[in-house]
Amino acid sequence: MTGLAVTDLCKSYPAAGGGRREVLKGVSLRIDKGECVGLIGESGSGKSTLIRCALGLEKPDSGRVDYEGSFVHEATGPDLLLFRREVQIVFQDPFASLNPRMTVEELVGEGLLVHRIEPSRARRRACVAELLGRVGLEADAMHRYPRAFSGGQRQRIAIARALAVSPRILVCDEPVSALDVSVQAQVINLLADMRSALGLGILFVAHDIGVVRYLCDSVLVLAEGRVVEEGPTETVFGDPQHDYTRALMAAAPVPDPAEAKARRALRRQQREAARGSEP
C-alpha cells in the first residue's frame, strides 16, 4: 500500500451551547503518488479539520490516517520522520505561511537542515538556489525576507520550501485563492509541472470548481463533514449526481455573458414563481 489514506475519520469539538459539534462524520480518502485528488468544500464543510487530522496536527475522535502502511497518529521514530518528510503542505495565504523573521534561504533550506539531508551550509545554499530556479525565482532571492515579495512569488517560495525535502505527497490548502487572478494560473501550472516532473501526489483543497477541474484527476465533494460525491473529475463535474454538487456547479460563475445572463434570467423566474406561490 502506498500513499496517504484517510479512513472513516470522525472529529467533533465542544459546541458553544454545550454538547459537541460534529465536524467530520466519517470521511475517507486516498492519495497515491503521482495522483492529483481534488477536495471541494465550502466554508464550514470540515475541510480544514480534515487537513489538520490528515497531517497529524490534530487527533481524530475515531478513524485512521495511514502513510506507507503505518498509522500516522501513533507513528514514532523513523516512521514519523518519514511522514514528516514525505508529506508537506502549501497554505492558502502566502502572507501568513512564511515566517517573517527568516530569509528565503533559511525558509527553503529548513527542511534540508532538520532532516539532515544537506547539513553543510554551502551545499544547502546550492540546493536552495536550484529549488528557487525550479519554481521560477532568481537565486539572489534567497538573501531577502518574505515581505520583499509579491503574493505569487511568496507562494513559489512556499512551494520551494515544501519541495526541498523531496516529498511524495503535497497537500495544497486553497493555494491560489488569495492570489491575484492574473497570477493564479502561474501557480496552478507550477503545481501541475511539479507533479509530472516529480511524480508528486497532490491533495488539492479548494472551493473553486474551475481550478479543481483543470488540475485534478479525481475529486471529492465535502459537505457538512461528509463526502457527498466522489469520482473521476470529468465524471463528477460532467454529470453531477448529488444535489449539493449540482448547486455548487450552478453557483460557479460562468465567463460567458450570454450563458450567464440566461442562467440569471432563469433564476429570476424561479424566484418570482416562488414569491408568487407564497401566501
Within positions 192 to 221, which residues make up the interface with another protein, using CB under 8 A?
207-211, 213-215
The separation between CA 10 and the C-alpha centre of its own chain, rounded to angstroms, equals: 20
Nearer to another protein, 69 or 100 (CB): 100
* Long-range CB pairs of 47-53, under 8 A, 24+ apart, other chains included: 47/173, 47/205, 47/222, 48/173, 49/11, 49/23, 49/24, 50/6, 50/9, 50/24, 50/222, 51/89, 51/171, 51/173, 51/205, 53/6, 53/9, 53/11, 53/24
Q: For residues 227 and 236, which CB has a smaller minimum distance to another protein in the complex?
A: 236
Quick count: other Cβ atoms within 10 Å of Cβ 251?
10
Which position among 17, 100, 276, 279 is part of the footprint of another protein (CB under 8 A)? 100
Nearest-CA neighbor of 135 among 192, 94, 182, 93? 192
Residues 116-175 that bind another protein (CB under 8 A): 147-148, 150-153, 158, 161, 165
Integer Cα distance of 227 and 67 in angstroms: 21
Kindly state whether residue 95 participates in binding another protein, applying the rule CB under 8 A: yes
Q: Supply the minimum distance, in Å, between the C-beta of residue 267 and another protein.
A: 6
CA 270 to chain centre: 36
DSSP-assigned states of every residue in 77-123: HHHHHHHHHHEEEE-S-TTTSS-TTS-HHHHHHHHHHHTTS--SHHH
If the CB atoms of residues 32 and 217 are measured against another protein, the closer one turns out to be: 217
Does 11 sit near another protein (CB under 8 A)? Answer: no
Listed ranges 10-18, 30-38, 63-71, 85-93: which one lies at the site for another protein (CB under 8 A): 85-93
Site string for another protein, 229-268 (x = CB under 8 A): -----x--x---------xxxxxxxxxxxxxxx-xx--xx
Residues 36-65 close enough to bind another protein by CB under 8 A: 42-43, 52, 55-57
120 versus 150: smaller Cβ distance to another protein: 150
Q: Count residues binding another protein (CB under 8 A).
A: 77
Supply the minimum distance, in Å, between the C-beta of residue 107 and another protein.
Answer: 9
Question: Least distance to another protein from the beta carbon of 162, Å?
Answer: 8
- Judge contact between 117 and 167, C-beta under 8 A: no
23 is a contact residue toward another protein (CB under 8 A)? no
